[in-house]
Structure 1
Amino acid sequence: MAKPELKTNQKTQVEDRSSLKGTLASVFLLGLFIIVSWVSVYYLFVDRF
């Protein structure tokens, strides 16, 4: 059986310049949309009775 060779002199580069500002803004907008939806459905339910 052949032995697999491990390459140890391979370098991986990690970018430290990743910005999560867009992710944070989209999560806030999604959360705001969910809260507004729940509140509007609640008021529609309360208004019927």
Structure 2
Amino acid sequence: MTEIRPQEKHKAGALSKAELEKREPGGLSGTFVSVLILGAFIAISWIGVFLLFIARN
């Protein structure tokens, strides 16, 4: 049976805790921007529907 060496384990996708902590902020900033864009879209949609409701009354 083939043994997995520590170097090969890293290649298989296992990240150390230090590497994972170092990578998180970049991923979270992209997530934050995506949430802001989605929130802005929802807010603009609600405002548009509200203005349409006001205009028809």
- Percent of residue pairs bearing the same amino acid type: 12
Higher helix share: 2
Listed as ranges, the gaps of 5+ residues in structure 1 are 1-5
Tell me if 1:43 matches 2:47. yes
How far did residue 15 of structure 1 move? Answer: 4.2
Coordinate RMSD, CA, aligned: 1.5
Name which one, 1 or 2, has greater alpha-carbon Rg: 1
Q: Which runs of 5+ in 2 are unaligned?
A: none
- Aligned residue pairs total 43
Give the distance between the partners of 2:15 and 2:52, measured in 1 at CA: 55
Q: TM-score, normalised by structure 1?
A: 0.71
Superposed counterparts of 1:1-49, under 5 Å: 6-8=1-3, 10-11=4-5, 12-13=9-10, 14-16=14-16, 17-18=19-20, 19-49=23-53
Deviations 1:7-48 (A, max 9, x none): 12x312344324111110000100010011000010000001
Aligned residue for 1:45, secondary structure, equals helix
